[in-house]
Chains A and B, each alone.
Chain A
Amino acid sequence: MTVRSGEDASGVRRAAIGVLPFVVALLFASVLVLLVGENPIEAFRLIIQGSLGSADKLSDTVMVWVPLTLAAAGLVVTFAAGLWNIGVEGQIVLGAIGASLIAREVSAPPYILIPLTLLFGALFGIAWALLAGVLKTKGKVNEIFGGLGLDFVASGVTLYLIIGPWARPGIASTSGTEPFPTAAWLPALGDTRFSPLAVGLTIVLVVVVWMLLRGTRYGLKLKAVGRNPQSAFLMGIPTNRYILGAFAICGALSGLAGAIQATGFHHKLVPSISGGYGFLGILVVLLAGFRAIWIAPIAAFFAVIAVGSITLTLRLDVDSALGAVITGILVLFALMASGLRSYRRRKRSLELPPDPEESTSTPTPARGGAS
Chain B
Amino acid sequence: MEATLSTIIAAAAPLMFASLGETISEKSGVINLSLEGSLMLSALAGFAVAFSTNNTLAGFAAAAVVGATFALIVAFSSITLGLNQVAVGFVLAILGVALASFLGGSYTGRPGGEVAVPPLNIPLLADIPFVGPVLFQHNIVVYASLLVVIVAWVFMFRTRPGLVLQGIGERPEATHSRGIKVNRLRYTYTIVGGALVGIGGAAFTLDAKLGWSFQHTRNFGWIALAIVIFGGWHPLRVAAGVLLFGFLQWLALDLQNVFPDLTQVLPIMPFVLMIFALVLVNADWLREWADRHPRWGNLIRGDAPSAIGTQFSAE
Measured CB to CB, the residues of A under 8 A from B are 32, 84, 135, 139-142, 144-146, 148-149, 152-153, 155-156, 159-160, 163-164, 174, 279-280, 282-283, 286, 319, 321-322, 324-325, 328-329, 331-332, 335-336, 338-340, 342-343, 346, 350, 354, 359-363, 365
Contact of A145 among B90, B264, B278 (CB under 8 A): B278
The 16 sampled A-B contact pairs (Cβ below 8 Å) are A145-B226, A146-B275, A149-B272, A149-B276, A152-B272, A153-B272, A156-B272, A159-B265, A319-B105, A329-B95, A332-B92, A335-B91, A339-B81, A342-B82, A346-B82, A365-B84
Interface: B69 (CB within 8 A): no
Contact of B82 among A144, A148, A286, A343 (CB under 8 A): A343
State whether B86 touches A159 (Cβ < 8 A).
Answer: no
In the complex, chain B residues whose CB is within 8 Å of the CB of A155? 268
Interface: B80 (CB within 8 A): yes
Interface: B271 (CB within 8 A): yes
Alpha-carbon gap, A322 to B105, bound state (A): 12
Interface: B87 (CB within 8 A): yes
State whether A152 touches B77 (Cβ < 8 A).
Answer: no
In the complex, chain B residues whose CB is within 8 Å of the CB of A343? 80-82
State whether B102 touches A321 (Cβ < 8 A).
Answer: yes
In the complex, chain A residues whose CB is within 8 Å of the CB of B128? none
> How far, in Å, is A83 (CB) from chain B's closest CB?
11
> How far, in Å, is B260 (CB) from chain A's closest CB?
10
Alpha-carbon gap, A149 to B268, bound state (A): 10
State whether B102 touches A319 (Cβ < 8 A).
Answer: yes
Interface: B229 (CB within 8 A): yes
Alpha-carbon gap, A289 to B83, bound state (A): 12
State whether B83 touches A339 (Cβ < 8 A).
Answer: yes
> How far, in Å, is B28 (CB) from chain A's closest CB?
15
> How far, in Å, is B229 (CB) from chain A's closest CB?
7
Task: Please name the residue on chain A nearest to B93 by beta carbon.
Answer: A279
The 9 closest A-B pairs by CB, nearest first: A339-B81, A328-B95, A149-B275, A324-B98, A321-B101, A321-B102, A361-B311, A363-B309, A339-B83
Contact of B91 among A146, A153, A332 (CB under 8 A): A332
Alpha-carbon gap, A280 to B102, bound state (A): 17
Interface centre among A282, A336, A365 (most CB of B within 10 A): A336
Alpha-carbon gap, A38 to B222, bound state (A): 34
Query: What per-residue 1/0 map shows which CB atoms of B247-289 lie under 8 Å from chain A?
Result: 0000000000000011011001101100110110011100000
State whether B275 touches A335 (Cβ < 8 A).
Answer: no
- Knowing A141-B282, A152-B219, A153-B272 touch, does A339 contact B77 (C-beta < 8 A)? yes
- Knowing A148-B226, A156-B268 touch, does A336 contact B282 (C-beta < 8 A)? no
Contact of B283 among A139, A342, A359 (CB under 8 A): A139
- Knowing A139-B282, A139-B283, A279-B94 touch, does A360 contact B86 (C-beta < 8 A)? no
> How far, in Å, is B94 (CB) from chain A's closest CB?
5
Contact of B86 among A32, A84, A141, A321 (CB under 8 A): A84
> How far, in Å, is B301 (CB) from chain A's closest CB?
13
In the complex, chain B residues whose CB is within 8 Å of the CB of A325? 95, 98-99, 102
State whether A152 touches B268 (Cβ < 8 A).
Answer: yes
Number of A-B contacts (CB under 8 A): 134
In the complex, chain B residues whose CB is within 8 Å of the CB of A156? 265, 268-269, 272
- How many residues from B make CB contacts under 8 Å with A? 47
In the complex, chain B residues whose CB is within 8 Å of the CB of A335? 77, 83, 87-88, 91
Contact of A286 among B85, B91, B99 (CB under 8 A): B91
State whether A139 touches B88 (Cβ < 8 A).
Answer: no
> How far, in Å, is B60 (CB) from chain A's closest CB?
23
State whether B81 touches A340 (Cβ < 8 A).
Answer: yes
In the complex, chain A residues whose CB is within 8 Å of the CB of B64? none
State whether A135 touches B81 (Cβ < 8 A).
Answer: no
Q: Which of B21-78 contact A (CB under 8 A)?
A: 73, 77
Alpha-carbon gap, A160 to B262, bound state (A): 7
State whether A148 touches B222 (Cβ < 8 A).
Answer: yes
- Knowing A160-B265, A360-B83 touch, does A332 contact B310 (C-beta < 8 A)? no
Contact of A359 among B82, B275, B282 (CB under 8 A): B82
In the complex, chain A residues whose CB is within 8 Å of the CB of B269? 156
State whether B84 touches A360 (Cβ < 8 A).
Answer: yes
Alpha-carbon gap, A84 to B264, bound state (A): 29
> How far, in Å, is B76 (CB) from chain A's closest CB?
8
State whether A336 touches B81 (Cβ < 8 A).
Answer: yes
In the complex, chain B residues whose CB is within 8 Å of the CB of A142? 229, 278
In the complex, chain B residues whose CB is within 8 Å of the CB of A141? 278-279, 282
State whether A149 touches B264 (Cβ < 8 A).
Answer: no
